[in-house]
Structure 1
Amino acid sequence: MKNSRLLAVAASTLVVLGLVSCAPPEKEDTGSKTESGVSAREATSAEDFGGMDKLIEAAKAEGELNVIALPPDWANYAEIIDTFSKKYGIKVNSAQPDANSQDEINAANQQKGKSTAPDVFDLGQAIAIANTDMFAPYKVATFDSIPEQFKDPDGTWVNDYGGYTSIGYDSAKLPEITSVEDLLKPEFQGKVALNGDPTTASAAANGVLMTAIANGGSVDDIAPGVEFFIKLKEAGNFIPVDPTPATIESGQTPVVIDWDYLNAAETKKVPTWKVFVPQNALVGGYYFQAINKDGPHPAAARLWQEFLYSDEGQNLFLKGLARPVRADAMEKAGTVDAALLAALPEVTGEPVVATDEQSKKMAEYLGANWAKVIG
């Protein structure tokens, strides 16, 4: 989809081997019911509650929402959570903000039936598709304005936001980056970081894919990507530091391979921080939003979805420089924040987006070969 605000395919490569999270025993959850007597857990739209006002009423009665793995500096989630909480008077409990997708699933399984279990998920493709039996189908009011390729027909999962793999760097300390190969230059010694472990994190796995494509590989052959990181390490350029806003701002990680919306967000804190998206290795992906069918706050979970996919929620993702899934429809309707849309990092061409099967093969290869880089 050239020159579109959306990515070409609804997918986000994520391979994870997360740890099981722990929680103290809590009281069993009994769920809530709508005014008509329908279980809130079985509601597939706001109409099942009697309309949006009744859904809001039911969610307020529950009073809380449990989210997990939502870093405050990721896609503007700090403001999204704060806005939702103030708008509806619902306390948002944010657990394990730095967890990965498998951690989310592990927490839901271990805490099933407890008041601490996550109500909603924000997942990469591989984990989302592998765990659809844990999701509750739900269609938000704006469901019809979400392109078919970005959602399950029944609303079991829906893509929420996406972006492109990029290289962020401090232009005050380093020369301009115009290609992936530039990272091998002596000027980048001890400076290049990858956001996470590619065997457990989507951003990192896509980073390896980006370098593979830039070096003659493909989504079906990421070996050149692993080889590139081996060369980076041998040159002394790759540093085994998991970058964060703090490491970027302190100068510890002056070059970071990450999603463009995360790198672009750093320009607000580090004015000399620039973002390079290699057009010859354009790798894109969306994350998947879903409701935990066994979550303790089913009405609040559904109201959260309504908020995320409303014009207000989508513009808040956009404020975080992530590409909201409804961007094209909102642009046509005149409801998108045009200034924020124009601020997105410029890209051209067709992005490469791994399918579920390709993601699995990438997982296998990375699991067997990434040790060559870090070993």
Structure 2
Amino acid sequence: MPQPMPKRILSKVFAASFAALLTAGAVACAPPEKDDSGAAGSGTDAAQATSAEDFGGMEALVEAAKAEGELNVIALPPDWANYGAIIAAFSEKYGIKVNSAQPDASSQDEINAANQQKGRSTAPDVFDLGQSVALANTSMFAPYKVATFDEIPAAFKDPDGTWVNDYGGYMSIGFDSAKVPPVTTVDDLLKPEYQGKVALNGDPTQAGAAFSGVLMVALSQGGSADDIAPGVEFFRKLKDAGNFLPVDPTPATIESGQTPVVIDWNYTNSSETKKLPSWTVVVPPDNAVAGYYYQAINKDAPHPAAARLWQEFLYSDEGQNLYAQGGVRPVRADTMQADGVLDPAVAAALPVVEGPVTVPTPEQTEKASKYLAENWAAAVG
């Protein structure tokens, strides 16, 4: 049986790959009540603030956010990147109610919700998005630089703070060793033993995890970040063999046995090992794919001060360590480790992959996304 991934901090090749390849590039309700100027309590227009200094400092930002009293987040499953604990810590620290909508939604669902609920108090204040969806919707984001902005490598952020990477990980295959044979390679998934058992986390035309899953499969079939077609063809074969399971996996489907094989990020798959001891996680070593998620503020956020305070919390030492506890690599990990503020226990638990790691550039992501939009449905429909 394949062993779980080594519990060490991500290797420098992972960080180097990103540095080299990533370049900056509901129910209707009444609108939120604001004064005529849309100003925060200090007189600052919170929706226009690009840093805490615009409020008069962090204490004033906290005061303005507390005055709003609420924060709307979307598509943040509690078991994903430790968001359950992150939300609880933020709410307890600042006394702000966090409304978490559609926790299992895709990145595209986040954008759709913001458009559909624009002007309402239920609209998302912040986004947590896969690369392709984030880069296609930057006009919806409000630029903001957190206090630790200068500690975030240039490759992981827009220069104006319109978006900032928050955490990353590797694409993996999780499987229940009590229900299916060990998976050692992507090609194993075509075997009869996996009939009706292989699920992909989402639709790759809408969800970052699924997009990266198809890319990982493409690499295993001779494709590349410039040619995702072999990945789509593999899933066509998987469907024709009866092995592809068109079910969006969740912790409930995994624990019930409905989705005994899941292609998803390593940190999401690994979180299941705490509940299901037979759940095993493998990062295919010869076609490793890594990716960061994109954090952004909705420019039409109904709670603009709380949205900015949320960003400050996520990129603080406390927030970054909470991310690491969820098995993801926080974007400030290297700097925090050098400064001695990355929790040693969580640093030791971060995974590492030896060898080459593929990280698509924004241009490659755009090209692959176009191919998926034109070919995915026909392949698996």
Q: TM-score, normalised by structure 1?
A: 0.92
Aligned partners of 2:348, 2:325: CA distance in 1, in Å? Answer: 11
Aligned twin of 1:33: 40
Contact 1:69 1:104 in 2 (8 A): yes
Q: Which amino acid aligns with 2:39?
A: S
SS state of the match for residue 9, structure 1?
helix
Q: Secondary structure, in 3 states, of the residue corresponding to 1:8? A: helix
**Count of residue pairs the alignment pairs up:** 366
Q: Is the 8 A contact 1:7 1:284 kept in 2?
A: no
Q: Find out whether 1:253 has 2:259 as its counterpart.
A: yes
CA shift for structure 1 position 5: 6.2
Q: Secondary structure at the match of 1:23?
A: coil
- Report what 2:347 is aligned to: 341
Aligned partner of 2:368 in structure 1 is 362
Q: Which amino acid aligns with 1:3?
A: K
Instruction: Name the residue aligned to 1:232.
Output: 238
Aligned equivalent of 1:92: 98
Residue 92 of structure 1 aligns to a residue whose secondary structure is strand
Give matches, 1:1-375, under 5 Å.
Answer: 3=12, 6=15, 8-9=17-18, 23-27=28-32, 29-30=34-35, 31-33=38-40, 35=42, 37-375=43-381
For the 8 Å contact 1:32–1:299, the answer to whether it is kept is no
DSSP-derived class of the 1:121 partner: strand
Deviations 1:314-339 (A, max 9, x none): 11111111111111111111111222
Structure 1 residue 288: Cα displacement: 0.7
Report deviation, 1:190.
2.1
**1:148-190 CA-partner distances (Å, limit 9, x unpaired):** 1001111111000111110001123333322111212232222
Q: What secondary structure is seen at the aligned counterpart in 2 of 1:227? A: helix
Pair 193,295 (structure 1): closer, same or farther in 2 beyond 3 Å: same
Q: CA deviation at 1:241?
A: 1.5
CA offset digits 1:85-132 (Å, max 9, x no partner): 011000111122222222222222232222222111111222222222
Residues 86 and 319, structure 2, Cα contact 8 Å, conserved in 1: yes
How far, CA to CA, are the matches of 1:322 and 1:267 in structure 2? 15
Match of 1:17 in 2: none
Q: Which consecutive unaligned segments of at least 5 residues does structure 1 have? A: 13-20
SS in 2 for 1:286: strand
Q: Give the distance between the partners of 1:193 and 1:272, measured in 2 at CA.
A: 17
Alpha-carbon deviation of 1:293? Answer: 1.9
Distance 1:46 1:177 in 2: 49
Distance (Å, rounded) in 2 between the aligned partners of 1:197 and 1:340: 31
Moved more, 95-104 or 117-126: 95-104
Contact 1:137 / 1:156 at 8 angstroms: preserved in 2? Answer: yes
Point out the more displaced range, 168-177 or 133-142. Answer: 168-177
Contact 2:291 2:359 in 1 (8 A): yes
Runs of 4+ residues deviating >6 angstroms = none
Q: Contact conserved, 2:175 with 2:280, CA < 8 A, in 1?
A: yes
How far is the alpha carbon of 1:212 from its aligned partner? 0.8
Cα separation, partners in 2 of 1:285 and 1:91, compared to 1, 3 Å = same
Amino acid corresponding to residue 23 of structure 1 in structure 2: A
1:65 counterpart letter in structure 2: L
Displacement of 1:371: 2.9
2:372 alignment partner, SS class? helix
Partner Cα separation in structure 1 for residue 117 and residue 196 of structure 2: 41
The Cα offsets for residues 129-149 of structure 1, whole Å up to 9 and x where unpaired, read as: 222222221111111111110
2:331 maps to amino acid: V
Secondary structure of residue in 1 paired with 2:320: helix
SS in structure 1 at match of 2:324: helix
For residue 268 of structure 1, report the CA deviation from its aligned partner: 0.7
- Aligned 8 A contact 1:5 1:323 in 2: no
CA distance in 2, matches of 1:372, 1:114: 37
| 2:11 and 2:352 in contact (8 A); partners too | no
Conserved in 1, the CA contact under 8 Å of 2:200 and 2:264? yes
Question: 2:208 is matched by which residue type in structure 1?
Answer: S
- What secondary structure sits across from 1:283 in the alignment? strand
